[in-house]
Amino acid sequence: MVVDRSLSSRAVGLAVHAVIVVVLITTIFPVLNILSNSVSETYHIIAGHVSFFPVGFSLRHYSILFMDPMIPRSFLNSVLITLLGTAVNLAFTVTMAYPLAKRRLPFRRSFMVLIVVTMFFSGGLIPRFMVVRALGMYDSFLALTVPIAISAFNLIVMRTFFKQVPEELEESAFLEGAKETTVLVRIVMPLAKAGVATIALFYAVSHWNAFFDAMIYLYDTRKYPMQLVLRDIVMRTEMARLSFLQDQYGRNDLMEQEAVAIQGIKYGLIAITMLPMLMLYPFIQRYFVKGVMIGSLKD
């Protein structure tokens, strides 16, 4: 292998590395800033003294968070919704993508046209709410998983993976007496595990970060996911800040303390919501990179 060591090549290499460093810093800085704010004293948070590293290390915000029974409950709700939703998504997406990848399926192109149409048009929020309520799923976790059981984009990605599996392997299994379900579970899916891991990550992140559907379909606050609780805290922070600013001539110290405390709690809750996905990604990174490349370059 010949390595180009010319001056122009080195200049391009330095420029590429410089861009990568800038992108890395831009990506990491918000994460470090949130983590640092979550373990800093509230005074330094409001004063804007916190950047990359915590100032006045304190775990007071986390202790306040876990003293509230709603926070651990909402965390468990988010975990349950993510696991249930991802399982439902994978089951429906895989079982639909597999037949669509086969040329012998009648009306295959018509089905694909209908699926692609759903990427651009939907029934709307009110009809969807009426359907969810009519099916008895209102105020349950089913309302957050069943109506979004299949993503058209992820279905197309999964279908692309299944099309890469050699048909000779399936034909050999059929000759041995295997059924379609056996071929899918024991032959096709192990060969397409990069695609399964990719769409599983897409679905899991989507469920973990979602709050709008929970706000619409859940009535019982005990079923709220963490993202919805975080939204309420952010709104309380802003309302407390605005109220304090409006009353600044009267100098309401109690209101100021409330705004400061909620601000620190907000950063702590954001850090808690980020960590699970940050811890999950390294384990499936190699599958994710391969999955995105195959799903985007081949059809």
pLDDT at 299 over 50: no
pLDDT value at residue 298: 46
Give the integer Cα–Cα distance in Å for 262 and 108.
54
Q: In the structure encoding, which two tokens stand for residue 173, read together? A: 């299994």
Look up residue 187 and give its two tokens: 């032959």
pLDDT in tens, 201-234: 889 989 998 889 999 999 888 899 988 888 877 7
Strand runs labelled E in the chain: none
> What is the structure's pLDDT at 72?
86
The reported pLDDT for the residue numbered 4 is 59
**pLDDT for res 254:** 45
124: left (phi over 0), alpha (psi -120 to 50) or beta: left
Distance from C-alpha of 87 to C-alpha of 98, rounded to nearest angstrom:
17
pLDDT for res 276: 82
Cα gap 83→67, rounded to integer Å: 26
Residue 243 near residue 46 (C-beta atoms within 8 A):
no
- Residue 261: exposure state from Cβ atoms within 10 A (0-12, 13-18, ≥19): middle
pLDDT digits (tens, 9 = 90+) for 119-136: 888 888 888 999 999 999
pLDDT band at 238 (very low <50, low <70, confident <90, very high): low
Q: What separation in angstroms does the CA of 88 have from each of 94, 200, 207, 266?
A: 10, 10, 11, 31
Question: What CA–CA distance (Å, rounded) separates 213 from 143?
Answer: 8
CA-CA distance, 115 to 100, in Å (whole number)?
Answer: 11
DSSP 271-299: HHHHHHHHHHHHHHHHHHHHHHHHHHH--
Residue-wise pLDDT tens digits, 167-210: 778 778 888 787 888 888 888 888 888 888 888 888 998 999 88
Alpha carbons 159 and 171: distance in angstroms, whole number: 19
Note the pLDDT tens digit of each residue in 65-108.
778 788 888 889 999 999 999 999 999 999 999 888 888 888 88
Q: What is the pLDDT of residue 251?
A: 47
Which pLDDT tens digit goes with each residue over 5-57?
666 777 877 888 889 888 888 888 888 888 888 888 877 777 777 877 888 88
257 or 152: which leads in pLDDT: 152
Q: Please state the separation of Cα 133 from the chain's center in Å.
A: 26
Cα–Cα dist 177/218, whole Å: 47
Quote the CA–CA distance of 251 and 257 in Å, as a whole number: 11
